[in-house]
Structure 1
Amino acid sequence: MSAAAAEVAVNQYFDRYFDRQATKILPGEYYATKEPEVIVTVLGSCVAACIRDKVSGIGGMNHFLLPLDGSAEPGKPTQSARYGAYAMELLINEVIKLGGRRERLEAKVFGGAAVLRGMLLNDVGKRNAEFVEQYLRNEHIPIAAADLLLDFPRKVYFFPETGQVWVKRIKTIKNDTIFEREREYRQRVKQDVESGSVDLFEE
């Protein structure tokens, strides 16, 4: 997995509305904290998993998109699934490194909308939503809340300390920033897959 496809978020600022430190997650990024912060992202076809130790309040968020992948073979994970699993493990491992306990983790998942123009026939958002739900079931991490699919972007605010999530559904889009970020991100991920840099979890 190249650095272009999965990075720790560095866009931090002080949110005056919530009166606390905030970290903004862009496509391909993740962030976890044990401080009373808010983590923010805007989702179109991508999905975000908010993972939290429900006892300690240590938690974080990722923001990822499965690349389109025609390499599926019966009984074998695709490169796309390997990428998604890697994106999830990055976040889970970071939460555990900060002191979270895997057996106490819970998840809230968002995104997967049908909004990435030119890719609607491929059900990109649906594939992302199905992947994150299946991954969490396989890992026995309960999903405490979800807001997936439909046809509009979302802005998500996650407060790991309390587990609270605010979701704003964006019904009116003023510019193409969301689409351009996801389109550029998808191209980076596609290049990673084609180069073999996400050939992970071989059995």
Structure 2
Amino acid sequence: MTHAEVSEHLATQRYFDREFEREAVKVLPGEYYVSARGEAIVTVLGSCVAACIRDVRLGVGGLNHFMLPGEGAASLVSSASARYGVFAMEVLVNHLFKLGAQREYLEAKVFGGGNVVASLLRSDVGARNAQFVRDYLATEDIALVAEDLMDDHARKVVFFPATGRVMVKRVGASSQSAELQHERHYQRRLQSAPIAGEVALFDIEPAGGRR
């Protein structure tokens, strides 16, 4: 996958958050964002999962928002749909490496996987997303220091990469919610355009050649 193709997944919705009195970036389903500044990264999750990953030494961190679209187990090896999750995690982690992060200093906090999108309940997508992100972090030896996963509510997540602080608020799961509509559209888009063959991951050599 080329640099240009990866950049299409980088969140671009910037605004000034009056509650926190700082610049913020809103991450929609299928997007991610990385920051080395004092801004906030914000997303709203239903059945999707977000990983907040940060280099504790540098204060550089980012957040992604993704879903496994298909049926079956969430195993990294047994599920073709898990390649979407692998891509979402690799793009985020590799962007952090580009900014100088090193694996031994990374820590993760993960959120989402709620049973709130009716069309996804039968395939238990929320639970599979939650298990996938735990498995991925364990496989990649990235410390999981906090989680708020599954249950039956949507969540608003506000991540402050400079400090590692994360604020989570339960939000209404109304079918009319604009935020959850984004997630429904994302799910339908993934299911209507399944991946063919292998996903070619975008690789960025971290500072100092360490990976």
Q: Same fold (TM over 0.5)?
A: yes
- 1:57 is matched with which residue? 59
- Helix, strand or coil at the partner of 1:79: coil
- 1:41 is matched with which residue? 43
* Distance of 1:18 and 1:75 partners within structure 2: 37
- 1:112 is matched with which residue? 113
Classify 1:97/1:113 alpha carbon distance in 2 versus 1 (closer, same or farther; 3 Å): same
Structure 1: state its 5+ residue gaps: none
Classify 1:91/1:165 alpha carbon distance in 2 versus 1 (closer, same or farther; 3 Å): same
Kindly indicate whether the alpha-carbon contact (under 8 Å) linking 2:173 and 2:180 is maintained by their aligned counterparts in 1. no
Q: Kindly report which structure 2 residues correspond to 1:12-91, keeping only aligned pairs within 5 A, or say none.
A: 12-69=14-71, 76-91=77-92
Residues 139-148 or 6-15, more deviating: 6-15
Identity level (%): 50
- Helix, strand or coil at the partner of 1:7: coil
Kindly indicate whether the alpha-carbon contact (under 8 Å) linking 2:76 and 2:132 is maintained by their aligned counterparts in 1. no
Kindly indicate whether the alpha-carbon contact (under 8 Å) linking 1:32 and 1:60 is maintained by their aligned counterparts in 2. yes
Classify 1:192/1:121 alpha carbon distance in 2 versus 1 (closer, same or farther; 3 Å): same
**What amino acid is the match of 1:129?**
A
* Distance of 2:179 and 2:17 partners within structure 1: 21
**What amino acid is the match of 1:25?**
V
- Helix, strand or coil at the partner of 2:169: strand
Q: Report the CA distance between 1:148 and its aligned residue.
A: 0.3
Q: Report the CA distance between 1:67 and its aligned residue.
A: 0.8
Deviations 1:115-152 (A, max 9, x none): 11122111110000000011001111011110000001
Runs of 4+ in 1 over 4 A off after TM superposition: 1-4
Classify 1:109/1:75 alpha carbon distance in 2 versus 1 (closer, same or farther; 3 Å): closer
RMSD: 2.4
Classify 1:28/1:198 alpha carbon distance in 2 versus 1 (closer, same or farther; 3 Å): farther
Q: How many residues are aligned here?
A: 197
**What amino acid is the match of 1:21?**
E
* Distance of 1:76 and 1:174 partners within structure 2: 34
- Helix, strand or coil at the partner of 2:81: helix
- Helix, strand or coil at the partner of 2:131: helix
Q: Kindly report which structure 2 residues correspond to 1:37-186, keeping only aligned pairs within 5 A, or say none.
A: 37-69=39-71, 76-171=77-172, 173=174, 175-186=176-187
Kindly indicate whether the alpha-carbon contact (under 8 Å) linking 1:83 and 1:198 is maintained by their aligned counterparts in 2. no
* Distance of 1:182 and 1:75 partners within structure 2: 22
Residues 74-83 or 56-65, more deviating: 74-83
Classify 1:172/1:121 alpha carbon distance in 2 versus 1 (closer, same or farther; 3 Å): closer
Kindly indicate whether the alpha-carbon contact (under 8 Å) linking 2:76 and 2:135 is maintained by their aligned counterparts in 1. no
- 2:209 is matched with which residue? none
- Helix, strand or coil at the partner of 1:103: helix
Q: Report the CA distance between 1:78 and its aligned residue.
A: 2.2
Structure 2: state its 5+ residue gaps: 202-211
Kindly indicate whether the alpha-carbon contact (under 8 Å) linking 1:117 and 1:179 is maintained by their aligned counterparts in 2. no
Residues 152-161 or 94-103, more deviating: 94-103
